[in-house]
Amino acid sequence: MNEEIYRKFALENVGKIDFDEETEINMESFKELYPSILTDEEYSELNLPPKQYYLNNLIATEGTHYLTGKVKDGKSVLTIGITEALTKQGIYVYYYAAEDDDARIKERLQKIKNETDGRLLIQTKYGKEVPPPSDFLDYVRDMVNRFPMIKVFIFDTARFAVARSKITQNDPYEENYNEITPWNNLAHELGVCFIMIGHNNQSKDADGFDAMYGNTGLTASYENLLMMKRSSEGKMLLKCAGKDLPHQTFELEEVKDQNGVFVRYNIGKLFDESLQGDMKKLLVQIIKDNGSPMTRTMIIKKLIDMEKPSGNVYRDVSILVKNRKLENTNGWYTVVPDIPD
């Protein structure tokens, strides 16, 4: 609120709020002016429905989700598996396959034996009525208003549906926020789930959600994040985090056809990253066998001597410290002893 508007507001409302000279606000007068402001007591008494999820807390039924992975990790294949699981629950899913043609989609559906019961609604960018990104919000709003049984929308990839921000402030964070916020608002307006697919940063140094392509503005703008990554022993994982999703990691199970050809991923069991990886176990064992504290340089040298990969030592050691498996004293690492039951 700029100074002129604030001055006008103050003059128009002077005397409308009665303050006790000591400490108390006259809440009746306050509520007349600011009816949408609730007190902490009022919030505690609100009767709100619990958050709802699909697929074992993997996807929130309402809000935006950003699904990423490295090129050729199988994001589209995972997406087909997710759509199959959703449609089997009786949910209609709209899937905008902007990077595929009809032949490629048909081939994928044949591999999963097309068990979606006609509830998977697929559109490619070659469809006559497909709007430009600038009009996609209205396109989706109109579709849901006409057919409210469509509850999940998947955009593969996001850049074909999300309009670029018209604000040119040389501020990537602000631009990303302005691009994604309308989708967040629309998801809650319509009560639907949006899954936007993107790509990870291909840098070997990028890890965790920092590996998501773009910048912190992009990842902060979406309400929930889903990221495909491989564990140190080669398992494909799906990491989940966000405003509505519990922070957890799932194993992705490879499904193969009768000829042994990989066709899709299924969401598997929860994966404990604290000490599940063979490499993390090895790091702990190396320090334990050394009998005295070790630096990361010493650990890397030991791994090289053992002809083991050492590229993720900094990351893995940090995870082990965070999960109280190792203790860091000025750069020297020791094993935290197990506490007996």
Query: Mean of the pLDDT values across residues 310-325?
Result: 86
Of the candidates 58, 95, 124, 72, which has an alpha carbon nearest to the alpha carbon of residue 262?
A: 72
Domain extents in the chain = 3-44, 53-270, 278-335
Of the candidates 131, 193, 188, which has an alpha carbon nearest to the alpha carbon of residue 162?
A: 131
Instruction: Judge whether residue 120 has pLDDT over 80.
Output: yes
Q: Which amino acid appears at position 272 of this protein?
A: D
Measured between alpha carbons, how far is 121 from 124 in angstroms, rounded to an integer? 10
pLDDT confidence bin for 136, thresholds 50/70/90: very high
Residue 37 has a pLDDT of: 94
List, in sequence order, every residue forming a beta bridge with 332; answer none if it has no partner. 329
The CATH number assigned to the domain with range 278-335 reads: 1.10.10
pLDDT tens for 76-113 read: 888 888 888 899 899 999 999 888 888 888 887 777 66
List, in sequence order, every residue forming a beta bridge with 319; answer none if it has no partner. none
* SS3 letters across 179-199: HHHHHHHHHHHHCCEEEEECC
Instruction: Judge whether residue 2 has pLDDT over 50.
Output: yes
Burial per residue of 151-166, b for 16 or more beta-carbon CB atoms within 10 angstroms, e otherwise: bbbbbbbbbbbbbebe
Residue 199 has a pLDDT of: 77
Instruction: Judge whether residue 19 has pLDDT over 60.
Output: no
The Cα-based distances of 151 to 113, 203, 228, 296 in angstroms read: 23, 35, 23, 49
Count of positions (residues) in the chain: 341
Which is the CATH superfamily of the domain at 53-270?
P-loop containing nucleotide triphosphate hydrolases (3.40.50.300)
Measured between alpha carbons, how far is 238 from 243 in angstroms, rounded to an integer? 17
Instruction: Judge whether residue 128 has pLDDT over 50.
Output: yes
List, in sequence order, every residue forming a beta bridge with 68; answer none if it has no partner. 227
CB 63 within 8 A of CB 187: yes
Q: Which amino acid appears at position 19 of this protein?
A: F
pLDDT tens for 294-304 read: 999 999 998 88
Q: What is the β-pairing status of strands 59-60 and 92-97?
A: unpaired
Residue 213 has a pLDDT of: 47
pTM > 0.75: yes or no: no
Query: Mean of the pLDDT values across residues 7-23?
Result: 59
pLDDT confidence bin for 224, thresholds 50/70/90: very high
| H-helix or E-strand spanning residue 255 | strand 248-256
Measured between alpha carbons, how far is 282 from 308 in angstroms, rounded to an integer? 10
Query: Mean of the pLDDT values across residues 22-44?
Result: 88
User: Matching CATH topology for 53-270 and 278-335?
Assistant: no
Residue 210 has a pLDDT of: 52
